[in-house]
Amino acid sequence: MDAQERTSVLIVGGGLVGLAMSAFLARLGVPALLVERRSGPSPHPRARGVNPRTMELLRLLGIADRVRDAESARALAGNHGIVAVETLAGRRLGELAEPYFRGVRDPAGLSPESWCMVHQDELEPLLRDRAVELGAAHRFGTEYVGHTETDGGVVATVRDTASGRTAAVAADRLVVADGAGGGIRERLGIGTHGPGALARFVNIAFTADLTGPLDGRRFIMCYTTGTGTRSALLPVNNTDRWMLHVLRDADDASLPGPDECAALVRAAAGVPDLPVRVDGVLPWVSAGRVADAFAAGRAFLVGDAAHVMPPSGAFGANVGVQDAHALAWRLAAVARGDAGPALLDGYDAERRPAADHAMRQAVLRSRDRPRFVGGGDAPPPDPDLEPDENVVFGPEPDGTPGRRAPHVVLPGGTSTIHRYGTRFVLGHGPAGDGWGRAAAAAAADAGIGVDAYGGDDAWCAAHGVARDGAVLVRPDGVVAWRAATGPDDPGALAGALRGALAAPVPGAAR
């Protein structure tokens, strides 16, 4: 075994969430090493709906514009809606128009960002490159073997997949981003809850010119009954690059061969002689599961290692990236000595309820789709279905502690959201000049940096405070504390800051 190396955080898994984790930590100056057994990011398009909250985080990393300039993002920028047809060339059955569904319409008043449709095989390399730019260390072709926990951290054994040589890595913390089937969660003894497996699918990536049967339509997804089973066409570039999701028998784990794949594509398109090139076939199981704990000792679960949910609603990958952001600032605060280990308890306390909520809503959406695809008179949707905004942003952001801080446009056109991401921030009304001094005193008391800024009357209304009131916002954009009026007791802010560095905010769940 090679000599032991040392890092602050060891990340196992180099998919979308693991790469995001490494970028967030690098941005905060936390040394981290990412290991991934594959030789590089996945070449399969896979997930593609990046919601506004995640786009805010990509903006924080400095790559939002790069993401929007990706080939698939530019190609799909005008796509909207989910439709159902017999075949792409055949009879239209309907369109999903339920109140809970917003598709990729902008969340007016909730975010400075909008949805972006970009495929995972383009997003992952952008995240990888940005993480490296920020100083992250990645080691692809390196497999996690196991780890032991010590009084001062963890010691993991990793193996080079080409040479077979093993090495030891010592770290303060372990972040588990090895996906739904990675196995580390089970080794940690953490179970799951939820409905479990819902359906088995294969995802066929293919090249075929569908501009004829498409006839100028631009949708997010098109359900089709032409294959004889529930299937869905998803555009990659709206012309000749596509994906086809095909429902399989629950006990059929086999993969269709090239000829069967091509026949399924032709059946979905409704063009019997369509030239088709099959580019890849990926099996997957639609499921709803959430880990019973997001942490065990010095190990923390993020992404699919922590939760799996159906793709309906595009919540899964987005919740995973948001897990990484929520964990990163906590790890950074502890690594810098700004907070004690108790701050890390808030990760499980806050993110697990958020994942539970998103998983339940994704399952409800998944179960609602056959009703919509069936055409004709359909029963109403499940009354427990909530609007997409509730799942993405949580309860109304009105300045209440535990909720997302409101999006308010500031002079110059920037958003309050752009102020959050690195340090605690104290925002105050136009008559709250004394809060700047209180913030400086609280920062000195806690031994950390606190930024301060002033808002206008619209800012006060959005945050539920008077003109001399203030709110304290954590680095993850969650309101930690609110004072409706001026700083009669400046020491209260110092106490609130110390409290926010030691425990989760009551009610925080997004």
Q: Chain-wide mean pLDDT for the chain?
A: 91
Rounded-to-integer distance, Cα 329 and Cα 380, Å:
42
CB 475 within 8 Å of CB 456: no
Q: Which residues contact 33 (CB under 8 A, 6 or more apart)?
A: 5, 7, 9, 10, 11, 137, 138, 139, 169, 171
CA angle 357, 67, 105 (to 5 degrees): 50
> In the numeric block, which tokens belong to residue 356?
């539970």
Task: List, as one string, the DSSP characters of 209-261.
Answer: --HHHHTT---SEEEE-TTSS-EEEEESSSSSEEEEEEEE-TT--PPP-HHHH
Strand order of the sheet with strand 192-207?
Answer: 92-95, 82-85, 221-224, 231-235, 241-248, 192-207, 277-291, 307-308
pLDDT at 95: 85
Query: What pLDDT digit, counting tens, does each position of 278-295 carry?
Result: 999 989 899 999 999 999
pLDDT at 304: 97
pLDDT at 509: 47
- Which domains does the chain carry? 2-77+113-192+289-391 (3.50.50.60), 196-287 (3.30.9.10), 397-500 (3.40.30.120)
Dihedral sign for Cα atoms in the order 53, 58, 61, 65? negative
Q: Which residues contact 45 (CB under 8 A, 6 or more apart)?
A: 72, 119, 120, 121, 205, 236, 243
CB 416 within 8 Å of CB 410: yes
pLDDT at 219: 93
pLDDT at 97: 76
Rounded-to-integer distance, Cα 32 and Cα 172, Å:
10
Residue for token digits 């088709």? 276
Element (H, E) at 270: none
Residue for token digits 């792409």? 88
For residue 340, the number of C-alpha atoms closer than 13 Å in the C-beta half-sphere is 5
Residues in the chain: 510
Residue type (1 letter), 301: L
pLDDT at 235: 94
Rounded-to-integer distance, Cα 33 and Cα 10, Å:
5
Rounded-to-integer distance, Cα 362 and Cα 318, Å:
12
Residue for token digits 């190396």? 5
Dihedral sign for Cα atoms in the order 224, 229, 234, 238? negative
Query: What pLDDT digit, counting tens, does each position of 43-66 carry?
Result: 777 778 999 999 999 999 999 999
Instruction: Tell me how far the alpha carbon of residue 105 is from its chain's centroid.
Output: 18
Q: Which residues of the chain have pLDDT under 50?
A: 509-510
What residues does 365 pair with on adjacent strands?
none
CB 16 within 8 Å of CB 317: yes
Rounded-to-integer distance, Cα 346 and Cα 343, Å:
6
